[in-house]
């Protein structure tokens, strides 16, 4: 089983702590380019505000700079798993012999269809909430960036939280549900500095933690991170390509710009209690899941 691979390799928990520290170092190194740009004198004329300095850059350049740390972070993860744990990336990603790309593509396709229907359905019923922003040349560059770099960002998060740390915490606490909740809380807390939190308040943390729980359930029930990889990549790519707003962490040359005043309650409730359970139900039927209690809350 996927989660039990942590016991097979018998890596002590200090290795996971050391590995996490090394990955963070690589991410910090990856932040050097964006640090250079926002501290450059010609850009820092934006009143000394780092976010304002970042927003003064071309949106596609912004996105590249924000994604570079994940590229370095993935290199750090690879070295940690190989050199510190003496394991393969496959061992922290799936119980299968290799990544099941059919699962990744299926989850990606399902969520892409759902996202497009939701975005343009809302645009149809609430056109005043959006501003048309399509511009072929910058959108084409955005498309290339999204396809090449954004899956690295989303995959790194899944490999770390639903793979590496899920196995590490489960072996340390000898509990699946503790590992599920711990990784979800850590995953959510890393979004604390996002501008969405400043705009919507601390209540939005429930969405981030709930999303972590949702992705963790997919991973534990399916014995691998493939479905989480597909979902997460689709979610971020669709958002980047089709709709953005002035207050989100990613500013892109998307087709639409949401100019409405954001609210927390309705969208969060719809995602956490309707969309996510619906997605889980569909995956459970597609892949014939069973043994829910054993896979989610039992000891190792």
| Predicted pLDDT at 118 | 95
**259: burial class by Cβ within 10 Å (0-12, 13-18, 19+)?**
exposed
The model carries a pTM of 0.95
- For the chain, which residues make up each domain, given as ranges? 5-297
224: left (phi over 0), alpha (psi -120 to 50) or beta: left
Name the least confident of 216-220, 249-253, 288-292.
249-253
Name the least confident of 26-30, 123-127, 174-178, 265-269.
265-269
Q: Measured between alpha carbons, how far is 225 from 99 in angstroms, rounded to an integer?
A: 9
Query: Taking Cα atoms as reference points, which of 96, 103, 139 lies closest to residue 243?
Result: 139
Q: Measured between alpha carbons, how far is 58 from 219 in angstroms, rounded to an integer?
A: 37
| Predicted pLDDT at 39 | 78
Residues 18-50: tens digit of each pLDDT: 999 999 999 999 999 988 887 775 555 555 666
| Predicted pLDDT at 271 | 94
| Residues constituting the chain | 300
Residues 89-137: tens digit of each pLDDT: 999 999 999 999 999 999 999 999 999 999 999 999 999 999 999 999 9
């Amino acid at each position: 089983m996927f989660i039990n691979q942590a016991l097979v390799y018998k890596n002590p928990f200090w290795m996971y702590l050391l590995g996490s520290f090394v990955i963070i170092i690589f991410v910090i190194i990856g932040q050097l380019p964006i640090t250079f740009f926002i501290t450059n004198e010609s850009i820092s004329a934006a009143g000394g505000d780092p976010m304002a300095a970042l927003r003064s850059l071309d949106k596609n350049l912004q996105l590249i700079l924000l994604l570079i740390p994940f590229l370095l972070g993935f290199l750090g993860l690879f070295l940690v798993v190989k050199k510190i744990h003496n394991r393969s990336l496959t061992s922290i990603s799936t119980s299968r012999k290799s990544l099941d790309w059919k699962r990744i593509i299926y989850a990606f396709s399902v969520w892409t269809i759902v996202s497009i229907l939701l975005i343009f359905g809302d645009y149809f019923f609430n056109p005043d909430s959006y501003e048309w922003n399509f511009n072929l040349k910058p959108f084409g560059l955005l498309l290339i960036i999204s396809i090449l770099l954004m899956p690295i960002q989303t995959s790194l998060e899944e490999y770390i939280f639903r793979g590496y740390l899920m196995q590490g915490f489960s072996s340390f606490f000898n509990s699946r549900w503790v590992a599920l909740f711990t990784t979800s809380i850590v995953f959510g807390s890393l979004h604390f500095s996002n501008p969405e939190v400043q705009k919507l308040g601390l209540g939005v943390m429930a969405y981030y933690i709930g999303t972590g729980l949702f992705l963790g359930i997919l991973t534990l029930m399916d014995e691998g991170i493939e479905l989480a990889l597909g979902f997460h990549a689709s979610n971020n790519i669709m958002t980047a390509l089709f709709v953005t707003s002035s207050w989100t962490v990613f500013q892109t040359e998307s087709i639409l710009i949401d100019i409405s005043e954001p609210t927390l309650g309705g969208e969060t409730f719809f995602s956490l209690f309707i969309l996510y359970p619906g997605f889980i139900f569909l995956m459970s039927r597609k892949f014939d899941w069973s043994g829910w209690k054993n896979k989610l809350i039992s000891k190792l």
